[in-house]
Structure formats: structure tokens, C-alpha cells
Structure 1
Amino acid sequence: MYLLKEIGGIILAGLTDTYTLSNGTKIPVVGFGTWQSEDGDEAYHAVLAALKAGYRHIDTAAAYGNEESVGKAIEDSGVDRKDLFVTTKLWNDDHGYEAAKLAFATSLSKLGLDYVDLYLIHWPNPVKFRSNWKEVNAQTWKAMEEFYKAGQAKAIGVSNFRPHHLDALLETAEIAPMVNQIFLNPSDLQPGVVEYNNDHDILSEAYSPLGTGSIFKIPALKDIAAKYNKSEAQVVLRWSLQHGFLPLPKSVHEEYIKANADIFDFELDQADMKTIDGFKGQAGSAMDPDEVNF
């Protein structure tokens, strides 16, 4: 059954509406992604434009190489820190208890923040730790639980984890992950991962919600967009919300940044939701985290 106007028990009206994570933390229902936004002017101006357009949820990562620019844009925006939700992620080379502590401190320093709202393990099974990923993830998670208990991370979670990675983590975790950020769009719904997330009260965040642009190559999407007098991007982001996902659209163009936020004044009917669900495989699919070469 599809969720229409009422999502998560609330009526969504805009970018400041929130989902509630398992620990009670409020997280804005749409985030602004910064993957592939280069450090320096590009990332800085993109984040500044997003904050000006009303986004209050910014997603970055150590691996993106733009934490300093993101932090500078946050500082210069004039938006009160308490009104922002900032996410960053631990990179693959820094798994393990001590390494994670150092990496987290570096991220906070680059961002110029005393805390982040969400800290994620970026990948579950890096090449560097492939022979003992389970044990190393447990050590990493212990450090992340400490960040959480100290208030340095208001919520903690994972990214690109499949059910077997989560099962392994939960064997030793004191605190369950609150978020799983995954490649999630009409081309790859990852139903098994999403079902697991739902069953364990883990929010599914959608990175590459537009398939890094590949979704626009699907002809049927153009017809649906015309029906609602919306862009293809707006339709797909609305589709993501109606599934109860949290999309993280990325752009470095101010007009698209604004347009991607204009998704709260229409609803896709169930027939169109099913059509979009049927786009499987037409715009790429998630990488297997047990086979990535990084």
C-alpha cells in the first residue's frame, strides 16, 4: 500500500517536515546530497544555495573531500545550527576503534562543528578489511556508540549495509543503527534491504535518488511528469517520499536545487507509483558491498 499525502503519520508540507528516528531524533524528510560536488567553490556555493532554498538537512562524507567547504557554507549561511541536520560518514580506510575515533575528530574539525546529527559507516566490507570485516565493524561501532553517548553524534547508522552485515553488527551492538543510507531509486528498489530496515526500525535513506541522472533516460517518466506538470526529477523524488524513503538529491545548479524541493504540492496516484516501480534495472543498480574494490 502506497503512502500518499500522509507519510509517517504526518502531513508533509515542506523541507522542514521530519521523520522520527528510533531514538526520537527528528530528521528532515529531504536532504541535500554533496557526493561529486568538488571541494572549494562548487561545494560551497551548492550548499549555500541549498540552505538559502530552505534545505535544512545536509549530507556529506569524509570520502567526498568537501567537508571543509560544506562547513564553511553552513557557517556563512547564517542558519542557526540547531535548525540544521548534518550528516557525515566514516571512510573505509578508517574502520576500527582507534582509527574511527581519529577520523571522526578530523571530520568534526573540517566541518567546524562540535557535533554532527548523524554519523554513518560508509561501507560494510572494504577491501582493506575483507578478511575480518565483521570484527572490525564491531570495533568501529563501539567507537560510534561512544560518540553517540557523548552527544557528539545525535544519531548513528550505516550506509550500503545488506541484511547479513546488519545481522553481524547487531550481534555485539548496544545501540541499533538508526539509518541505512543506500542506493535507492526506481531502477533499484532493493526490496530485501528496505524490508529489513523497516522490520528493525531503521530509516531507509536514498542516495542517488535520481540514478545520478540516468533515470531521465526512461521515456515513460516523461509522460508521467507531463501529467502532473512537474519535472521528471520532481516526480521521482515524490515517488521516494511516497515510499517512506528519505531522498538526498544533489545538484550544483541553483535552479535545480530549488526545483528539487518543490515536491510537496502534488501526489502520485497508485497507478503511476506502480509504473515507476516497474523501471527496475533501467538506470543502474546498487553495487555489491562485498565485491567493491575500495
Structure 2
Amino acid sequence: MADVYTNPEKHVVLHNNVKLPVLGLGTSHNGGYSHEAVVYALKNCGYRHIDTAKRYGCETYIAQAIKASGVPREEIFLATKCWPADYGAATTREAFNGSCQRLGTDYLDMYLLHWPDVPSGVKDKKKLLQDTWRTLEVLLDEERARVIGVSNFLEHHLETIMDECSVVPQVNQCEFHPYNNPKKLRAYCAERNIQFEGYCPLGNGQILNEPQIQEIADVHNKSPAQVLIRWNLQRRVVCIPKSTKEHRVKENAEVFNFVLTDENMARLDNMAQNLTIMDPSSIQAKIDNPLPDGYKLNIINVPAEP
């Protein structure tokens, strides 16, 4: 079994006792998808957690990369998400099956609701979210999904789910970096044993040149990206940085051989909260006026099917 599942620093244990690697490889339709980078991450850098979504349009390519890497499927923690247009008891199950088919697997390690928003024409939004969550609970009961959770949910969204749920969400994945650090939400999740997972840990590259981050990096002889990822891990936030460049994928994984000081952590904890990469207010229009999944995707180095 891979080191990430045996080394306590490299995984968190969820409230259903599933081990989730704290460092994963993020993917999205923004910035491209590189087959070679994903294969390299799995084969050469020890990544065993891949995060994606139906919306990104790259599930099929990830299946090819996993096969090319030679890493056994059972060693990989594979996570994807259900887009709000697919919410509903029957449609969510159909979306789940579609993701499994594209990913070349008969089960998912984690399945998340991508956003708390629903199509604006829905009359009872609360009921739709609760019915959709119940479908995820059934998939968990059927052992089709090992972990179920949500993404981009605030406290009141989580309460909508928990008003009627049998299983409390096991993970909440949200934007997280020093300039977008939702402390109250993290505390709320911790009190309910909901694991917090962060995307955009590098602020989409916009914070790598910040002087305070660079100063800490210089002290440790590390890159700003490594400092930011290490901050996530020491806060026990699951971290899924994305890169299409092999040397960056390797750099992002080399974060287990140094420790940030309490002073370093405090500086990063208390940055000005002035950067949001993913604007929630833009999501409703994307749900109501759908474009094809992966509409922004730029495919890099994906081999042709034989």
C-alpha cells in the first residue's frame, strides 16, 4: 500500500474511518489538462489522490492517465463532483454512473455536490438539495462511493443538508489560501467532524510573489508554493494544487521535509482577506445557461486512443 495511506502525516481519517491523502492533484478546465503531468504525478511523485469534476470535462483523460501510470486503481483516491444541473434523485445517480464510466471505474472514492446552488426554475430548492443528498447516502450504502461530501457550502448550506440527513457530509471542499481563509466555516466544520479541503491553495498563482510569503520561503530554502501547501497541511486542510508542468507537480509534492514555525503559521493565518478566485455569484448563470462540460478545456499531450 502506498506511503500516503500508512504515514499519519500524509492522510486524514474521516468520520467513517476512510483515509484521505492530505495532498492531491487538482484538475479543472481552467488552464488546461496535461496527460503527461498526471501520469508523472502518479508514477514519479507519489500522488495518490486526484480531484476532478464532471464539469471540467477531463474525466475520460484521467482514466487514460491512471492506466498509463501503472498505479493500481485501488491505491488511488479518486474524487469527482456532481454539477447542480444534475441534482435530483434519478439524475444524480445517472450523473454518478456517467462519471464512473468516463473514469473507467465501478466505484468512486469520493463524490461531492459541486455547489449549493440549484437551477433557478426549481420551486423547492431545499427539497432538491435534500433529495440529492439522500441519493449520495444511498450510493454510500451501496458501497459505490466510499466518501460523500460537498463543495463550496457555507454554514447555512450545510444546515440545509443536515436538517434531514442520515450521514453528515464527510468533506467540504472550498477555496482556501492565506488571503481567503474562512476561519468560522472551518471551525463549524471541525465541530461537526466535517473534513475541510482547500482548492486554489496557491491563489491561482496570484500570491506567489507576495513579500511576506517569499520571506518565509527564503528562510526555509523552499519555494512560495511549497510554503503555501505546507501551511495547508499543518492546518490539516486537505490540499489539491494543480499544475500542468511536471517540474511544478514535483515541487508541490516536496513538502514533507520541512516544518513551518508557529510564527510562520501565525503570519499566514492573519493575512488580509482580500482575494477570491472563484466568485460564487457567477455560478447561477452557469447553471441556468449551460455550456458543454469542459468548454474551457485545453488538452495537452493526450495520446490518441489505439
Instruction: Give the TM-score of the pair, scaled to structure 2.
Output: 0.86
CA distance in 2, matches of 1:133, 1:214: 35
Aligned residue pair count: 282
Q: 1:240 pairs with 232, 239, 256, which one?
A: 232
CA distance in 1, matches of 2:158, 2:107: 25
Q: CA RMSD in A?
A: 2.2
Query: Structure 1, unaligned stretches of length 5 or more?
Result: 1-10
For the pair 1:183 / 2:178, whether they are aligned, the reply is no
Q: Which amino acid aligns with 1:48?
A: V
Deviation per CA, 1:13-66: give whole Å up to 9, x if none. Answer: 979831101101011111110123677xx3322211110211000001001110
State the partner residue of 2:300. none
For the pair 1:51 / 2:39, whether they are aligned, the reply is no
Report the more deviating stretch, 282-291 or 107-116: 282-291
Deviation per CA, 1:60-116: give whole Å up to 9, x if none. Answer: 100111000011111221111111100000012101111101111100000010101
CA distance in 1, matches of 2:283, 2:41: 34
How far off is 1:263 after superposition? 0.5
Inter-CA distance 16–79: structure 2 relative to 1 (3 Å threshold): farther
State the partner residue of 1:109. 101
Inter-CA distance 262–245: structure 2 relative to 1 (3 Å threshold): same
State the partner residue of 1:217. 209
Question: Is the contact made by 1:123 and 1:289 (CA closer than 8 Å) also made in structure 2?
Answer: no
Report the more deviating stretch, 230-239 or 271-280: 271-280
CA distance in 2, matches of 1:20, 1:72: 29
Matched residues, percent identical? 36
Query: Structure 2, unaligned stretches of length 5 or more?
Result: 287-306
State the partner residue of 2:20. 27
Q: 1:257 pairs with 249, 264, 284, which one?
A: 249
Q: Which amino acid aligns with 1:20?
A: V
Question: Is the contact made by 2:120 and 2:284 (CA closer than 8 Å) also made in structure 1?
Answer: no
CA distance in 1, matches of 2:255, 2:261: 14
Report the more deviating stretch, 243-252 or 45-54: 45-54
Question: Is the contact made by 2:180 and 2:273 (CA closer than 8 Å) also made in structure 1?
Answer: yes
Q: 1:273 pairs with 243, 261, 265, which one?
A: 265
Equivalent residue runs for 1:1-294 within 5 Å = 17-36=10-29, 42-52=33-43, 53-128=45-120, 131-284=123-276, 287-288=279-280, 292-294=284-286
Question: Is the contact made by 2:200 and 2:277 (CA closer than 8 Å) also made in structure 1?
Answer: no
How far off is 1:220 after superposition? 1.5
Inter-CA distance 13–83: structure 2 relative to 1 (3 Å threshold): closer
Question: Is the contact made by 1:47 and 1:73 (CA closer than 8 Å) also made in structure 2?
Answer: yes
SS in 1 for 2:178: coil
Q: Which amino acid aligns with 1:49?
A: Y
Instruction: Give the TM-score of the pair, scaled to structure 1.
Output: 0.90
SS in 1 for 2:97: helix
Answer 1 or 2: higher relative contact order, Cα 8 Å, separation at least 6: 2
How far off is 1:215 after superposition? 1.4
How far off is 1:225 after superposition? 0.5
SS in 2 for 1:143: helix
Question: Is the contact made by 1:158 and 1:181 (CA closer than 8 Å) also made in structure 2?
Answer: yes
Question: Is the contact made by 1:215 and 1:282 (CA closer than 8 Å) also made in structure 2?
Answer: no
Inter-CA distance 117–66: structure 2 relative to 1 (3 Å threshold): same
